[in-house]
Amino acid sequence: MRTELHRTVSHSLDRLRNLGILAHVDAGKTTVTERILYVTGATYKRGEVHDGTTVTDFDPQERDRGITIFAAAVSCDWAGHRINLIDTPGHVDFADEVERALRVLDGAIAVFDGVAGVEPQSESVWRQADRHGVPRIAFVNKLDRAGADLDTAVASIRDRLRVTPLVVQLPIGREEDFSGVVDLVTMRSLVWADGAETFVEGPVPAELREEAERRRRVLVETVAERHPVALEEFCERSTLAAETLRGALRDLTRDGNGVVVLCGSAYKNRGVEPLLDAAVAYLPSPLDVPAVRGNTAGGEQRERPADPSAPFTALLFKVNSTATGRLSYLRVYAGTIQKGGVVLDAGAGRTERISRILRVQADRHAEVDRAVAGDIVAVVGLKSARVGATLCAPDAPLLLEPPSAADPVVSVAVEARRSTDSGRLTTAFARLVEEDPSLAVRTDPETGQTVLSGMGELHLEVAVEKIRRDVGLEVNVGRPQVAYRETVVRGVSGLLYRHVKQDGGAGQYAHVVLDVAPLAGGATPDGDVPDFEFASTVVGGRVPKEYVRAVEAGCRDALADGPLGGHPVIGLRVTLTDGATHVKDSSELAFRTAGKLALRAALGASELALLEPVVEVTVTVPDDAVGAVLGDLAARRGRVAGSVARAGDVLVTATVPLAELFGYATRLRSRTQGRGTFSTRANGYQPVPSAVQDNGSSR
């Protein structure tokens, strides 16, 4: 019987899966999630993105725009397992939502378009999952579309993601004739008739028998090369039993030594059940991942196992303000919490009471009495805990590493149309930043304007629209401005700075000598420029260790505003080479001040360059519009990296300054009669040409 809210079923930890759905925008990730909810009986009917009837894309803006903006958590049951599923955004502007979700997941399903294969943002989220060590399986979707091809998609997974794909299915039929798959593990066919609720299992079709056997042999050989138990059986029998193959696939997936690849068409409900079987068979439970690690109050590192009887430990990864109160989403790593229980916010040192615990089904909730290790739940009652906070048992404090947040790259000035609404706007900003830490709000010291900063033009549009809809405020919004950076091109050596202050009582004395140079190696392969490195070569105890740390802190203070235009400074290495102290007047404060002022003086004497954020743009256009698009990209200071013809279209890849892309969507539609599309991926920073800088681009 189908139920609208997930039934609260108690499962052991080995039958629990905390999974995410990752993909590039429009790869079909939300449709996959909706089909999973329908197939598992968590919903009565199939939600459709184009109809605005999806469970996970419940926000009005998501339904209007047809994209996922906010990560949504849902739960369902399959084959005796509970699956907690988080549907994540696919647009580059909401990459921080993906980052916070990945921090609390044990595994993930990566969805790829059967026509496009690996797209820019799917590559980015894959790298994010790599950083968090999250095991993945892959689902090649939309095989019913014209131009879809599993082998081409798998080749792009192998080449662009640099992983070993372990393809466990063979499609039956191509494009609009796609009707099912051959399971290469069991050598059975799974066929979905038009309009059928589920598949019919049968033997491998005669016309595909030879190809299926060839592909299974390739799969078995690839697995045997990487798994010792499988290799032993393969050497004895020249093949692998289905159970041995499943066990090896599970081990390779969880160790990150291979990626199981399945295929289907979520829109036509083909391939979802085998995907769920693979998720519970190959992806890890909370017991299969390393125990969470954190720091005690004394700075000692400790582990907390996924055990309901261990001291309670949870990470707050999402906050959502609703009309009925503030919902705080937790991943419980250890222990048990009861409704009405008291927890410690380890970072803030405050205790809070949890008044209610909720199982979440996107925007609907079912109240439960407790949450245990492995659970992902929402709680009501936390008043001040912020995203990234560690909640733990008051008598066993432990501080977990919070999710990282990227620096904003685009800003707009926002003001209330009526001066009487300024207070309400300030409250709305505070609520926005609480829900989304990748947003930042500041007051421009020169103009007095309130400036909202975020990860892209769309990110800011969504934030402003949220203020208009949820709060009912009319606001004026300025033109977008990008976030520039400054970096050292040629530094200075031996800059001496003495900080001496005497105004009655204890004085301040600090003497430091700094070398400043560009960071060796420059940008990383992802295009990111490291912010700062600090080293000390002081010998003989001329500057005590605690003062060296103070100098480093002062240098970091100085990076906030550079001499070129007050932008943050990145990409430099500072070395403390010498210094001196005073027996009475030296202190950590004095050396921190000296470090800050010394680095400011050194930057003033160095040669600096202005940097601007750049993005990798992938434009898909018809053949007859390529010339116009290339010309437009060149006019926007774009550097074309290459183009590929595919299914009547051309994919053009270029690196373009972010400042030149404002309004590009409208321009592209007009140049391609509405047939062109584009996607972007952050690609770090590059120097601003002097001609552009002279024209005032940095203001």
144 annotated ligand binder: yes
Residues 642 and 654 in one domain: yes
Residues 529 and 655 in one domain: no
Cα(290)–Cα(294) distance, integer angstroms: 12
- The CATH number that applies at residue 553 is 3.30.230.10
Which is nearest to 164 in space by CA: 261, 234, 72, 245? 261
Cα(47)–Cα(270) distance, integer angstroms: 15
521 annotated ligand binder: no
Q: Which residue has the tokens 């197939």?
A: 39
Cα(89)–Cα(69) distance, integer angstroms: 5
420 annotated ligand binder: no
Q: What are phi and psi of 504, to 5 degrees?
A: 95, 140
Q: Which residue has the tokens 């925008």?
A: 25
25 annotated ligand binder: yes
Q: Which residue has the tokens 């222990």?
A: 335
- From 465, 482, 499, the end of a domain falls on 482
Residue 469 has what pLDDT?
A: 83
- DSSP letter string over 572-637? EEEEEEEEE--TTT--HHHHHHHHHHHHHHHHHHSEEEEEEEEEEEEEEEEGGGHHHHHHHHHHTT
Q: Report pLDDT digits (tens) over 2-25.
A: 333 333 333 588 899 999 999 887
As beta bridge partners, residue 172 has 180
Residues 336 and 347 in one domain: yes
524 annotated ligand binder: no
- Structure token digits, residue 319: 């906050």
Q: Which residue has the tokens 């069991």?
A: 186
Residue 10 has what pLDDT?
A: 39
Residues 506 and 620 in one domain: no
Classify 3 in phi/psi space as left (phi over 0), alpha (psi -120 to 50) or beta. Answer: beta
Sign of CA dihedral 195, 198, 203, 204: positive
Tell me if 432 is assigned to some domain. Answer: yes
Cα(528)–Cα(522) distance, integer angstroms: 9
Give the three-state DSSP class for 546: helix
Look at 661 and 446; give whichever has higher pLDDT. Answer: 661
Residue 2 has what pLDDT?
A: 36
Tell me if 222 is assigned to some domain. Answer: no
Side by side, the strands of the sheet bearing 107-113 are 72-78, 81-87, 16-23, 107-113, 136-141, 259-263, 165-167
Check pLDDT > 80 for residue 293. Answer: yes
Which is nearest to 55 in space by CA: 43, 67, 41? 43
Specify whether the CB–CB gap between 208 and 180 falls below 8 A. no
Residues 471 and 537 in one domain: no
**Average pLDDT for residues 567-593, to the nearest whole number?**
91
Residues 436 and 573 in one domain: no
Cα(61)–Cα(141) distance, integer angstroms: 25
674 Cα distance to chain centroid: 30
**Average pLDDT for residues 378-383, to the nearest whole number?**
90
Model pTM score: 0.79
Residue 252 has what pLDDT?
A: 96
Specify whether the CB–CB gap between 634 and 626 falls below 8 A. no
143 annotated ligand binder: yes
11 annotated ligand binder: no
Residues 387 and 462 in one domain: no
Tell me if 253 is assigned to some domain. Answer: no
Show Cβ contacts of residue 539 under 8 Å, excluding neighbours closer than 6 positions.
none
Cα(598)–Cα(495) distance, integer angstroms: 8
**Average pLDDT for residues 607-619, to the nearest whole number?**
89
- From 482, 513, 542, the end of a domain falls on 482
141 annotated ligand binder: yes
Cα(389)–Cα(493) distance, integer angstroms: 42
Count how many domains the chain has. 5
**Average pLDDT for residues 590-607, to the nearest whole number?**
94
Cα(44)–Cα(4) distance, integer angstroms: 7
Check pLDDT > 60 for residue 583. Answer: yes
Residue 7 has what pLDDT?
A: 38
Give the three-state DSSP class for 459: helix
Residue 63 has what pLDDT?
A: 64
Query: Whole domain around residue 599: which residue ranges?
Result: 485-605
Residues 492 and 578 in one domain: yes
Residues 357 and 442 in one domain: no
Tell me if 187 is assigned to some domain. Answer: no
How big is the CA angle at 132 (ends 128 and 135), to the nearest 5 degrees?
95
As beta bridge partners, residue 269 has none
Tell me if 240 is assigned to some domain. Answer: no
45 annotated ligand binder: no
Tell me if 622 is assigned to some domain. Answer: yes
DSSP for residue 470: I
Residues 496 and 532 in one domain: yes
Cα(653)–Cα(617) distance, integer angstroms: 6
Check pLDDT > 50 for residue 526. Answer: no
- Kind plus residue range of the DSSP H or E element containing 196: none
**Average pLDDT for residues 161-177, to the nearest whole number?**
94
Tell me if 223 is assigned to some domain. Answer: no
Residue 5 has what pLDDT?
A: 35
Residue 519 has what pLDDT?
A: 87
Which of the four pLDDT bands, split at 50, 70 and 90, describes residue 60?
A: low
Residues 436 and 534 in one domain: no
Lowest mean pLDDT of 152-156, 357-361, 494-498, name the range. Answer: 357-361
- From 605, 633, 661, the end of a domain falls on 605
Cα(250)–Cα(260) distance, integer angstroms: 9
Q: Around Cβ 52, how many Cβ atoms within 10 Å?
A: 14
- DSSP letter string over 621-666? EEGGGHHHHHHHHHHTT-EEEEEEEETTEEEEEEEEEGGG-TTHHH
Specify whether the CB–CB gap between 263 and 139 falls below 8 A. yes
Cα separations (Å) of 259 from 76, 120, 173, 223, 378?
Answer: 24, 19, 24, 11, 31
318 annotated ligand binder: no
- The CATH number that applies at residue 358 is 2.40.30.10
Please report, as a single letter, which amino acid is at residue 676: G
Please report, as a single letter, which amino acid is at residue 383: K
Which of the four pLDDT bands, split at 50, 70 and 90, describes residue 67?
A: low
Cα(223)–Cα(240) distance, integer angstroms: 9
DSSP for residue 396: S
Strand pairing class (607-622; 485-490) = antiparallel
Show Cβ contacts of residue 226 under 8 Å, excluding neighbours closer than 6 positions.
164, 248, 252, 257, 258
Check pLDDT > 60 for residue 365. Answer: yes
Residues 395 and 471 in one domain: no
- Structure token digits, residue 557: 């203070």
Q: Which residue has the tokens 């040629």?
A: 490
23 annotated ligand binder: yes
Cα separations (Å) of 368 from 41, 354, 362?
Answer: 20, 12, 16
596 annotated ligand binder: no
Check pLDDT > 90 for residue 503. Answer: no
Burial of residue 517, with CB atoms counted within 10 A of its CB: 0-12 exposed, 13-18 middle, 19 or more buried: middle
Which is nearest to 317 in space by CA: 366, 392, 371, 389? 389
Give the three-state DSSP class for 135: coil
Tell me if 237 is assigned to some domain. Answer: no
Q: Report pLDDT digits (tens) over 540-569.
A: 889 999 999 999 999 999 998 899 888 899
653 annotated ligand binder: no
